[in-house]
A and B are shown apart, each in its own frame.
Chain A
Amino acid sequence: MKNSLGKLFLILLCTLWLDAEDFKHHFTLSNTSPYVKEAVIMTLDLNQTNRDKVLFFHFTLKKSPDYEFHRLNVKETEEHHTAQVHYEYLIYPLRAGEIQLHFNLIQKATTEENLAYSFSGDRDNVKGLTTVDTQIDLPPLTLKAKALPKGTSLVGDFNLTHSLKTNKAKAYEPLPFQVTITGSGYPPLLKDLLPKNINFTLFKEKPIVNAVNSSQGTSSTVIYPMALSHSKSFDLGSIVLKVFNPKTQKSYKLKVPKQHFDISKVDVKSLVDKIDSPKPLQSDWSWLTTILTSLLSYLVVFAAGYLTAITLKWKKKSTVQTSDPLKEKIEACKDEKALLQLLMATDSKAYASSIEKLEKGLYGNAKINFNNVKQEILEKII
């Protein structure tokens, strides 16, 4: 198994050199008479012969229910007039008998100018490469697949392990159980891993596949996670898988021994969920409370603002009506000098005539009626 399949079975069964107009091609098959599901490596080399053209190739195997294929590698030169392409495929025949491998090859010819034009593009201005495509008809290759021994489940070299955390549980409690198959060969994916007649409930998931294809075949690990459940004790019959190894041409068996599970009984009534979760829907009137609270708050704020404005208005009106500081000060003046001083401080120009009278009384020895002057000023204020 460790040795390369290619080295062991590298028998050149088919070497075909076909002279095409612009290029030559060369097929190799590692094995032309493999067993069913045995790995076969196929290579194809394309070598440009017409140096006047710029050639590109598109190659693939055609899909078929008779075989399964995976492309392993493509190597190509970067020279435009001497193109050399090497393809490598991993093929698994899926049935016994003669199987034909069909191909799809397209030759894409172009010119230096077209190539330069396509290179002149950029991310924001993509310029396509114009090519003249020619479908090349390649003759199919033939595999003569040999049948597997009867009852074979897997082909390759595999190991089987299983894990079981416990074999004791309460009724209906799941028992995790896992089977892992590791090795190289055709991926060990089985439709039914467990025996068909089971008397317990099986919960299973999609197998977890981790496979890597190479020229040596396919190395894979497949995990089958599952859980078993039952109301009473039960047995899981032994799992037996027959494996055929094409390298040794021998069959062997992978086994999981019979398992017994002890199930303890539980009161079924206690398993019934009597609590509703979430709780049943009830009439919710909180929105009404919210609206009423908001409305009340608004009314309180509005009333407070309105009352404040009214109060200020009345206060202002009553202040204006009842008291004028200047008027009070004028009425409080007891003599001409005090009144003159007050008028000087207030607005001399507005009371110029009264000031003049007061000046005459104070400094000009003229007789004035103090109360009349006062009254005159008060009338001006009103």
Chain B
Amino acid sequence: MNQKITQLKQELSKAVIGQETMIEGLLIGLLCDGHILVEGVPGLAKTTTINAFSKALGLDFKRIQFTPDLLPSDIIGAQIYNPQDHSFSIKKGPLFTHLLLADEINRAPAKVQSALLEVMQERQVTIAEETFKLESPFLVMATQNPIEQEGVYALPEAQLDRFMMKIVVEHNSEEEELEIMRKGASKSFAEVQKVLSIEELHTLQKELEKIHIDKELEQYIVHLISATRDPAKFKLSSITESIMFGASPRASIDLYKAAKAKAFLRGNDFVTPADIGYVVHDVLRHRIVLSYEARAKGVSADEIISSIVETLPIP
């Protein structure tokens, strides 16, 4: 099965240069049935990446540009009256897809965000008293632009918790950018071919369940999450004032699943502390609510997570 993952990565590399963090985050999201929040400036191949994923996996892909005038019915769908036969028919919205790119999710008002996040959690949509189950896999990759904060509706903490991981996308290295420049100018990006079917993806998801995780590591995960809620208990008094709210139980589940997925992607059938270390920042950074003191001092969630990992002894 690891060959399939390698093939998938190779196929994606035809369209996407670099951005391993985002690709791996999406893979983990797909394997764990989680949703991914991506933060990065415009032009970092976010749309290209998820589009390449849809092609490589033979999945449907839709993109919604979130704007302040967007309505819930614009994304969910609506009941439309047909005057010819005097009947109502359901017009399904762009949510009915496998891979959904919710571009600049924080530009839409709260009611639209709420409608999307409810669907992300329930994986079903109700239009005019009729409920539709969404096909599996259903992955939402939502993006946020960190530099433009005027006129945005910041996602509340409860809604951020619905995202399994928050990936911070950085600019490519100079070598990668040179390659992108050359390929982009000569239009020599190869077409991405389907290398994995939905069935095979489901098989991979089942394989994930077989990954072994030691009880000590399970305890380690619980300790990491607990330390975000009560740092003093783990001799982390220095960060107590920086945290207003710690991570939720959903964070424990997602960290557990993400660590397994990471081990799987690394070709292991068991989880090591390093697997947890690889994903802990991505799983927790959007779930820790910083205090005003921390914001004033410029302390980031990543620094708090690093302090916790550095302090809690690994098994």
Interface residues of A (CB under 8 A from B): 337, 340-346, 348-349, 355-356, 358-359, 363
Contacts and interface: CB of A to CB of B under 8 A. Distances in A.
Contact of A344 (B21, B307, B309): B309
What 6 pairs across the A-B complex have the smallest Cβ distances? Answer: A344-B277, A345-B309, A345-B310, A345-B306, A348-B277, A348-B278
Contact of B310 (A342, A356, A358): A342
Interface stretch (B58-66, B152-160, B268-276): B268-276
Contacts of B90: none
B83 interface: no
B310 A349 contact: no
A348 B20 CA distance: 13
Contacts of A337: 313-314
Nearest to B24: A349
A88 B28 CA distance: 114
24 contacts: A337-B314, A340-B273, A340-B277, A341-B309, A341-B314, A343-B277, A344-B273, A344-B277, A344-B278, A344-B280, A344-B309, A344-B314, A345-B277, A345-B305, A345-B306, A345-B308, A345-B309, A345-B310, A348-B274, A348-B277, A355-B277, A356-B274, A358-B274, A359-B274
B21 A349 contact: yes
Nearest to B276: A344
Contacts of B309: 341, 344-345
Contacts of B305: 345
A25 to B, nearest CB: 86
A358 B276 CA distance: 15
Contacts of B274: 340, 344, 348, 355-356, 358-359
A198 B20 CA distance: 120
Contacts of B306: 345-346
A100 B215 CA distance: 138
B272 A359 contact: yes
A274 B280 CA distance: 96
Instruction: Determine which residue in A337, A342, A356, A363 has the highest number of CB atoms from chain B within 10 A of its CB, and name it.
Output: A363
Contacts of A349: 20-21, 278
A7 to B, nearest CB: 92
A177 B5 CA distance: 123
Contacts of B276: 344
Nearest to B305: A345
B272 A363 contact: yes
A234 to B, nearest CB: 92
A341 B313 contact: yes
Given A341-B309, A342-B310, A344-B277, 19 more contacts: A337-B314, A340-B274, A340-B277, A341-B310, A343-B277, A344-B273, A344-B276, A344-B314, A345-B277, A345-B307, A345-B310, A348-B277, A349-B20, A349-B21, A355-B277, A356-B274, A358-B274, A359-B272, A359-B274
Contacts of B277: 340, 343-345, 348, 355
A237 to B, nearest CB: 96
Contacts of B273: 340-341, 344
A358 to B, nearest CB: 8
B38 to A, nearest CB: 16
A349 B275 CA distance: 10
Contacts of A355: 274, 277
Contacts of B280: 344
B310 to A, nearest CB: 4
A282 to B, nearest CB: 58
Contacts of A348: 274, 277-278
A337 B310 CA distance: 11
Nearest to B303: A345
B224 to A, nearest CB: 11
Most chain-B CB neighbours within 10 Å: which of A337, A341, A359?
A341
Interface in B263-315: 272-274, 276-278, 280, 305-310, 313-314
B232 to A, nearest CB: 19
A348 B282 CA distance: 12
Contacts of A356: 274
B40 to A, nearest CB: 16
A341 B314 CA distance: 7
A247 to B, nearest CB: 95
Contacts of B20: 349
Contacts of A343: 277
